[in-house]
Structure formats: structure tokens, C-alpha cells
Amino acid sequence: MVLKIFFPQCCNKADSGLLVGRWIPGQNSAVVLAVIHYPFIPGQVKQYIHQMRGQSGVDLTVLGSWSMPKEGQEGMESFLRDLSTIFPQGQWLQLSREMGKIGFRCHVLTRDPNGKLIQQEKELKEDGGGEKGGTKRGGGEKKGEENKVEGEEGGGEKDKVIFIHYEQRKVMLSQLHPIDNGVPDPQTESQLPQVFGTVCQSEPLFFLDKYDDGPVKMTHWQSEGREGSIIVELMKQASTPVCLLTTWMLTLWTSLCSSRILNMRPMRFISSKLSTCVQLSYRTEHLQTVCSPTRATAHNHFMRKANIFVSFFVDVSLGLLLVSWMYRENRIGKLANTLVPAADYVAKELEELLQWLMGAPAGLKMNRALDQVLGRFFLYHIHLWISYIHLMSPFVEMILWYVGLSACLGLTFALSLLSDITALLTFHIYCFYVYGARLYCMTVYGLSSLWRLFRGKKWNVLRQRVDSCSYDLDQLRLVVVMFQGVLHLSVDFINSFPLFAMGLRLFRSYRLAEGVKFRVLCEEPGTPLHLMMDINPLKVSSVVQTYRTPTYSCYPKDSWLALCKKLFLGELIYPWRHKTTKID
């Protein structure tokens, strides 16, 4: 198999030293993580690596030596080769680079069963892979010597090594999808997840670098300068007391909600049907997840917390914006002033419709007695309802004013409120619909049994002619139901959309990786293969699918078709969440 060496771009111009990394079993690959510089004491290096192995859980070893000779460092190569005796390895890599040339060279020394090292005729020259990839280092060019290349003309197997350059910081911060939640078996796990996992878990290795005063001096991605942000650090410090405070307030609130008074049967029924209360409980649950004082360890938990936090933040800011717009220029007053005339108008139209139906609608002759009964019944309903609205009219503005303040809690609250108000205002239409639908359902049932009997033995006569009445009411009901459905769906969408994950995908696309892509870096003749490994970001649709917050849903995906089907058959449609009973 071809030997694959994953080499970090930050080490392209590092000083000579030892390569530290991990061999990936079964794949004949090596991941280089850092370069330890001369001068070092081999005993200390071994101790340090042992310590790092324990801390990170990664099987770190010394892979070989790296030589980038400066002036006055002749004989470095033989010195580095002698080091192979100190660090016993199965395979010892000797990578070297010349100044002025962009090629790397690699010798591989294998230990034969006797413990002696054999030099293999594997010479590989790399071409300017690092430069093509665009290193961030602007560091000065080091002067170096031309090293004599042994056995260059001899050749041997020139093509058996691939150098794959990777950007260490991006690979470390990236998460490869699909996310494997279980513990992967190291034997069957494929190569790329192992590479990503190695770099990710070796974070303790990157704490010390060559400018620190530790036992070893290393070069890795942090050597350019430790990354940090004052704001992030301050927020981290402030987050713990804020989280504790919020958790305490939330426990108070949940204990209040579960108190005896609010848990009596009628209150519980109403609060489970009103979407505002449902939304409230949903948000409380979210806040409890976000404000839990324990840190999120797994990637999934972290993304969930971050998504909930960002979506809550955006929701509240949009809600505040809405409140600030609505409460200017007395818009609430204007809205309240149009509400009562609108209700009057709807009631008048309904009465006209009922009068038309009680006569001879479209020339159809109907069961006059039944029409009169139903018509009068509905007219009385409307009369009651209009009186109730007129009774409430002086208080409407005040109620709207105070209730509108709760939109401060978020835009989703405002939408749920709107949905609830619509439901309450059109409750009478819903009552009509219920009566009509039940009658229609009985009609359909009767007719279907008639049809069955007709095909069979007996012939029965059942004539009820309330059909056309139900159709017209259904149209009105359909409009209202569609409006409520749109509101519910938009609330669901806002609740479940992963804003943080989308933001990551747009601005830091390397954090969510679907895979990798390789680019061949231009080669010099007779040099081994150099590849640049870039991160392939996750597709937008996969982001939404993977990171959707699970949400309550009154209207499942295929709802519109099911809705129409229910309307036609006369089954009742509930505008709130209802446990459907199983009917065969």
C-alpha cells in the first residue's frame, strides 16, 4: 500500500526537529501533529509524549525527523538519523526540505526483525505543495545548504508516498458529518474520520509551543500566536452566575405553573389547547436546556444549545422591534376600533347567508321544517355572540394593550397570540361547523349504508337535504382554518429552524464538514505526489435536516391533503392539538 503522510501546513517552514504524531493502524498512514525543535533531551521528550498520551487519549509517538537545514547546521541529517535508535519505531520517517526548492524529500527506515534499521530506497521529492496552498506565514526565508541527495539517480520506488497537506486549525475545529454517536470500532473505521478525530483530540498537545518555557519547544498551528477574544472570555466568565440565576428563576416559575390552582381540570384543558400556553411551556423547556450549568460535551448537545440560544435571542429582538412599532401612533387604539365593526360585518353577512339558505337557495327545494329549525338555531347563536362582543367593546382596547405587551417575550408569542385571538373570535363559526359537520357526517354515513344495502338485499329511504348548507359553511371554515394553519406552521418553523447552525454554515463553513476534497498541487518532474486537503462544507439542506430542534406540530407534513380529505368526509377538524383516536 502507498504510504500517506498528512502534513500540517503550519509546519512547512518549521526548524529541524522531531515529528510527533500518530500512525493510523491498518491504513499505512501517518498524521503529523507537531515538530519538536532542537535542542531537546530525548528523555524529556519521551516523558512529555507519555504525559500527552495520557491527557489526550491519542496514541502519540515520535514518527521521525524533519530537517530544514539552516546555516551552521551541517551534519544535522546524520544526527537526526542517529536519533532513530533512541526512539524505537517500526518505521522511521526522514523528511527533509531544501531552501529554494519547494520539494520535500522522504526516506523511510524500517526496522527489520533483528532490530536493525534498513534504509529503503524510497526517495520522494515533494514539490512546492506548501506554497501553492498559500501558507499564512510571511516569515523570513531561512538560508540553507544544498544537501547532497543520496541515491537520487538510483531511483528506486519513487511513487509510493503521498503527502497530503492539511490546514490544522480548520481540521481541528471541524466536525465531520454524518456524526457517529456510538463508539467507533478502530479496526473498521475509515481513514478520514480517524484523521479528523486524531487532530481534534490532540488539543492538549497544542498548549505549549516554541515560545513557551517548557521542557520541549514545538511548532504547530498555535505557534503563530494564541488565538483568543476578550469578549468571548468575558462572556465565559459572566455566563456561570447568569446561568445559575436563570435556572433559579425558572425553577420558581415551573413550580408556580405546577401548583394546585392552575392544574385543575378546566384550566389544564384550556391551557393545553391555547397555543400561547403551549409556546410558553416550550420556551421554558428551551431555557432550561440552555441555562443548565453543565457544559455540553458532545457536538450534538453543543449545537442544540447554541441553536436554541440564538433562535431565542433573535425571537426576542424581533418581538421587541414589533412592540416598539406597534405601540407608536396609537396603533393599538386603531386596531381596537376596527375590531368591533369587523365582527359586526361578519355577523351581518352570516345572517344574510342563513336567510338565503332558509329560503330556496339556488332554486333547490329543501326540507323546509328542518331548514327553519337549523336556521333559527344558528341565528340565535350569532345574536348571542354579537351581544357578547358589544358587551366587551369598551374593554377591548385595554385588553389588547396589555396582552400586546407579552409580544416582548418573542415574535413567536405574538404570532401565537394572534392565532388564539382568531380562534376565540371565530368560535361561533366553529360551532356552526361542528353542528353542520356532524349532520353531514350522519348523512354520508346513512347514504353509504344505503349504497351498501342497495348492492345487497334491502332498500331503505333516508332523505336528508342539509348537504348544501354544510358545503357553504365549510368554505368559510376552510379560510379560517387555513389562516390558523399558516400561523401555526410559521411558529413551528421559527421554533425549529437552526439559526446557529445556518450561521456557522455561512460564515465558518469549515466547522460543519460533509467530507474533504483534494487538489493536486503542481509538481516538479520526478517528485512524489502532493495533495492539498480542503474541507467540503455540509450542504444547506443537510444542515437544516440534521440540526432541526424537535418541535410540537399540530399540522404534520401532509396535512393539507389530509385536511381536505377530512372536510369531504365530514370528520371533525380541530384547530388545536388533538390526540387522534385510532379508527379502523
Q: Measured from the CB atom, is 78 or 188 closer to another protein?
A: 188
Asked if 128 is part of the footprint of another protein (rule: CB under 8 A), the reply reads: no
Asked if 152 is part of the footprint of another protein (rule: CB under 8 A), the reply reads: no
Query: x/- string (CB under 8 A) for another protein, residues 456-495?
Result: ----------------------------------------
Only segment of 80-88, 277-285, 500-508, 512-520 that touches another protein (CB under 8 A) = 512-520
Q: Measured from the CB atom, is 189 or 467 closer to another protein?
A: 189
113-120: Cβ within 8 A, 24+ apart? 117/84, 117/85, 117/92, 120/156
Q: Which of 154, 525, 550, 556 binds another protein (CB under 8 A)?
A: 525
Asked if 188 is part of the footprint of another protein (rule: CB under 8 A), the reply reads: yes
Q: Which of 80, 527, 543, 573 binds another protein (CB under 8 A)?
A: 527
Q: Which of residues 240-259 bind another protein (CB under 8 A)?
A: none
Give the whole-angstrom CA distance, residue 125 versus residue 389: 87
Asked if 192 is part of the footprint of another protein (rule: CB under 8 A), the reply reads: yes
Q: Measured from the CB atom, is 545 or 551 closer to another protein?
A: 545
Q: Which three cell numbers stand for residue 412?
A: 413567536
H/E element holding 163? strand 161-166
Share in percent of the chain as helix, strand, coil (round to 5): 55, 15, 30
Asked if 561 is part of the footprint of another protein (rule: CB under 8 A), the reply reads: no
Q: Which of 234, 342, 453, 522 binds another protein (CB under 8 A)?
A: 522
HSE-up (13 A, CA, CB side) for residue 428: 19
How many residues bind another protein (CB under 8 A)? The answer is 26
Min separation Cβ 302 and another protein, Å: 26
Q: Measured from the CB atom, is 187 or 581 closer to another protein?
A: 187
CB atoms within 10 A of CB 462: 11
Q: Measured from the CB atom, is 188 or 580 closer to another protein?
A: 188
Q: Measured from the CB atom, is 470 or 527 closer to another protein?
A: 527
Asked if 531 is part of the footprint of another protein (rule: CB under 8 A), the reply reads: yes
Asked if 535 is part of the footprint of another protein (rule: CB under 8 A), the reply reads: no
Min separation Cβ 13 and another protein, Å: 24
Q: Which of 469, 523, 554, 573 binds another protein (CB under 8 A)?
A: 523
Helices (H) and strands (E) in the chain, counts: 17, 13
Asked if 289 is part of the footprint of another protein (rule: CB under 8 A), the reply reads: no
Nearest to 406 by CA among 289, 277, 307, 232: 277
Burial of 338 (0-12, 13-18, 19+ CB in 10 A): exposed
Give the whole-angstrom CA distance, residue 94 versus residue 85: 13
Asked if 518 is part of the footprint of another protein (rule: CB under 8 A), the reply reads: yes
Nearest to 39 by CA among 210, 205, 162: 210
CB atoms within 10 A of CB 164: 19
Give the whole-angstrom CA distance, residue 236 versus residue 230: 10
Asked if 162 is part of the footprint of another protein (rule: CB under 8 A), the reply reads: yes
Asked if 366 is part of the footprint of another protein (rule: CB under 8 A), the reply reads: no
Asked if 536 is part of the footprint of another protein (rule: CB under 8 A), the reply reads: yes
Amino acid at 567: L
Q: Measured from the CB atom, is 375 or 537 closer to another protein?
A: 537
139 contacts: CB under 8 Å, gap ≥ 6:
13
Distances (CA, A) of 71 to 281, 306, 543: 71, 51, 52
Burial of 361 (0-12, 13-18, 19+ CB in 10 A): middle
358 contacts: CB under 8 Å, gap ≥ 6:
371, 372, 375
Asked if 520 is part of the footprint of another protein (rule: CB under 8 A), the reply reads: yes
Asked if 183 is part of the footprint of another protein (rule: CB under 8 A), the reply reads: no
Asked if 159 is part of the footprint of another protein (rule: CB under 8 A), the reply reads: yes
Residue with cell 385536511: 563
Asked if 569 is part of the footprint of another protein (rule: CB under 8 A), the reply reads: no
Q: Is 15 helix (H, G, I), strand (E, B) or coil?
A: coil
Only segment of 241-249, 312-320, 346-354, 529-537 that touches another protein (CB under 8 A) = 529-537
Min separation Cβ 519 and another protein, Å: 9
531 contacts: CB under 8 Å, gap ≥ 6:
129, 162, 163, 164, 165, 518, 519, 520, 521
Asked if 175 is part of the footprint of another protein (rule: CB under 8 A), the reply reads: no
Assess whether the previous peptide bond of 88 is cis (omega < 30° from 0): no
Q: Which of residues 27-56 bind another protein (CB under 8 A)?
A: 28
Min separation Cβ 520 and another protein, Å: 5
H/E element holding 193? helix 191-201
Find out whether 125 and 104 touch, Cβ atoms under 8 Å.
Answer: yes
Q: Measured from the CB atom, is 400 or 521 closer to another protein?
A: 521
Only segment of 83-91, 114-122, 189-197, 576-584 that touches another protein (CB under 8 A) = 189-197
Asked if 2 is part of the footprint of another protein (rule: CB under 8 A), the reply reads: yes
Residue with cell 388564539: 420
Asked if 454 is part of the footprint of another protein (rule: CB under 8 A), the reply reads: no
109-112: Cβ within 8 A, 24+ apart? 109/81, 109/84
Q: Which of 4, 81, 220, 286 binds another protein (CB under 8 A)?
A: 4
Q: Measured from the CB atom, is 158 or 299 closer to another protein?
A: 158
Nearest to 419 by CA among 338, 337, 482: 482
Asked if 524 is part of the footprint of another protein (rule: CB under 8 A), the reply reads: yes
Which positions lie near another protein, rule CB under 8 A? 1-2, 4, 28, 159, 162, 164, 188, 190-192, 515-518, 520, 522-529, 531, 536
